[in-house]
Amino acid sequence: MSTALFVSSATVAVEGRKLIDAVDLRLESGTVTAVIGPNGAGKSTLLAVAAGQLRPTSGTVHLGSRESHKVPAAEAARRRAVMPQDSGVAFAFTVREVVEMGRTPWRKVRSDHAAAVDDALELTGLTALAERDITTLSGGERQRAALARVIAQATPVAEGSVILLDEPTSAMDVAHAEATLGLMRTLASRGAAVGVVLHDLDAAASYADSLVLLQHGRVRASGRVSSVCDAEVLSQVYGTPVEVLDVAGRLRVGPVRPARAA
């Protein structure tokens, strides 16, 4: 197992306020790492730093063995694909055209674009919507199109590939959310290092190999799922009772909900 992306002691300060403070994030090839934490904890900031979209005020980001900002843009994009929170597209491109945009960094080095795009469409269940105008799709469908674009960009997945997803399932229905989370595991099994911001604690506990729990811009806990999923710590961080149950050997994590008469 090797480190595909390493954010080391990153601090991002805006007008004196630290959005993240000396945060480490290590993404290993073949694994899924979920970043969790309450609103405003710095999850998206950390992901933007990892994505190379935001230069940290201090600290470093390594993509493979090199510093991220020293890797030429196209080469960096071949190794690292990023799905943003906002999946809006300004013009009426078809879904296929949007997914094809994911092939941009590969234009000069490969020619198997059609196959990569078809695969990405199929993996996200968008084959039937491929020729639809993306601006007419629902939020969840657009999110899947953004995911398909990211998969097309990450193809071929190889050792060292990094895939970053910022709340990829936030607008999806249960079936597509589960399919997306499963897809993350598939990509990891092909060798990618997946970093994902998730709000759903149970999804994070079920699908990730390791967790990074952020609070007020700092890492409150990180490591294996079982070590981070501590009911007391999670309850304190989120400010609401959170329970961690062992159901037949699998952790179920979520808020404690009131009992009601059926």
Partner 1 sequence: MTAAQDTAPAQEKPEQEAVPDGAGAGSGRASASAGRTARSPRRSRRGLRAGIAAAVLTAALLVVVLISASLGQFSTTPAQVLESIGRVLFGGADPIDNRVDAALWTIRFPRTLLALLVGACLAVAGTVMQGLFANPLAEPSIIGVSSGASVGACIAIVFGFSATAPWTLPAGAFAGALVITGVVWALSRSGGRAVVLTLVLTGIAINAVAGAATSFLVFMGDTSSREQIIFWQMGTLSGATWEGVGVTAVVFALGLIGCLALRSRLDVLALGDRSAAASGIDVEKLRVVAILLVCFMTGVAVAFAGVIAFVGLIVPHALRLIVGPSHRYLVPLSALGGAVLLGLADIAARTVIPFGDLPVGIFTALVGGPLFLVLLRRTLKRPGAAA
If one counts every other C-beta atom within 10 angstroms of the C-beta of residue 140, the result is: 17
Instruction: Identify the CA nearest to 193 among candidates 15, 12, 29.
Output: 29
Which of 4, 46, 77, 228 binds partner 1 (CB under 8 A)? It is: 77
Instruction: Determine, following the binding rule CB under 8 A, whether residue 88 of this chain makes contact with partner 1.
Output: yes
State the binding string over 91-120 for partner 1 (x if CB under 8 A, else -): xxxx-xxx--xx-xx-x----------x--
Residue pair 225/181 in contact by the 8 Å Cβ criterion:
no
Query: Judged by CB under 8 A, which stretch of 25-33, 129-137, 191-199, 209-217 contacts partner 1?
Result: 129-137
Which of 25, 32, 63, 89 binds partner 1 (CB under 8 A)? It is: 89
Which of 30, 37, 42, 52 binds partner 1 (CB under 8 A)? It is: 52
Neighbouring residues of 225: CB distance < 8 A, sequence distance ≥ 6: 204, 205, 208, 209, 210, 211, 251
If one counts every other C-beta atom within 10 angstroms of the C-beta of residue 54, the result is: 19
By beta-carbon proximity to partner 1, the closer residue of 31 and 124 is 124
Beta-bridge partner residues of 163 = 81, 194
CB of 82 to partner 1, least distance (A): 4
Cα separation, 168 vs 172, whole angstroms: 8
> Which helix (H) or strand (E) covers residue 101, if one does?
helix 95-101
Rule CB under 8 A: which residues touch partner 1? 48, 51-53, 73-78, 80-82, 84, 86, 88-94, 96-98, 101-102, 104-105, 107, 118, 122, 125-132, 134-138, 140-142, 146, 149, 153, 173, 175
